[in-house]
Amino acid sequence: MPEAAARLGARWSRRRAFITGAGSGLGLALATELAKAGWTIGRFDREAQRLAETAPALKAAGGSIYDYLGDVTNEAAFAAALDSFTGTAGGLDLMVNNAGVAAAGRIETTPAEDWRWILEINVVAVATGSRLALPHLKAAPAGGAIVNIASAAGFAAPPLMGAYNASKAAVISLTETLAAELGGTQVHALVVMPTFFQTRLLDSARAGAKEMATARRWMETSNFTAEACAKAVLEAVVADKFHLALPADSRWMWRLKRLLPAYFVSRLRKGGGRSTRRT
């Protein structure tokens, strides 16, 4: 069977995608999968060096790459980049709101500044990206899809990660609301809830030394990869899925939390968050 990116290309023949935070990690892995299927890809990232270093491989893989330097919290720059891309590509089929940051620490010691920082990037920018993309997706004859990258932390809510957990829970709720509002259109919404895998997420994280060391240990010992996550995400878009918890063995957490929330939280108290160590 053809790869998911190729099957999506059969649905959306123009094959146009815009991805935030696509200079590394999951964003780059998604761009790589799409490039191999001949997609036209707009990448929005705040790190010029990451974009420059990774563009040649994407082009060699078969993609048409348009890179835009900017921060997702700057709505004017975000809108200008997306408008430039859609003008060049003739529209949009797939929007991926992937850019995000992390923070760790007890709620009682996490400063308000860190809360504002993480919510602005992880939540407000996802809402902004969705809002900016919708007119283009609705205008496409075959519709399109918005993929919002949350985290298993958004439903598992492990301790010492309050600000991060809350931001990703908001992305889950935002996408659920968006999906309801898109009823009657040809635009689909998907929220992705992966556990930890090796990315550069911690490069900009705000956390104490102890919390940072724990997060790095979780990430470094995870067997899940950005490449595997990217393939699963595109398969979910093909299947018009709504929620996607990854990897497969994390789905028991998703089901348990929704069915028995009090029991799930009691397990966290007893285990110190160990049952969700890969979120």
Distance CA 270, CA 168 (A): 23
222: buried, middle or exposed (CB in 10 Å: 19+, 13-18, 0-12)? middle
Neighbours of 272 (CB within 10 A): 11
Q: What is the DSSP letter of 206?
A: B
**Short-list 22, 26, 62, CA closest to 233:** 26
Catalytic residue among 66, 68, 164, 263: 164
Q: What is the DSSP letter of 108?
A: T
Instruction: Give all strands of the β-sheet with 144-149 in edge-to-edge order.
Output: 64-69, 40-45, 16-20, 94-97, 144-149, 187-194, 243-246
Residue 95: what are its φ and ψ, rounded to 5°?
-115, 125
| SS3 label, residue 196 | coil
Neighbours of 99 (CB within 10 A): 25
Residue 172: both structure tokens together: 């889950």
Exposed e or buried b per residue across 54-92, where buried means at least 16 C-beta atoms within 10 angstroms of its C-beta: bbeebeebebbbbbbebbbeeeebbeebbeebbeebebb
Residue 235 neighbours by CB under 8 Å, 6+ apart: 4
Clarify whether 68 is annotated catalytic: no
Q: Which residues are catalytic?
A: 164
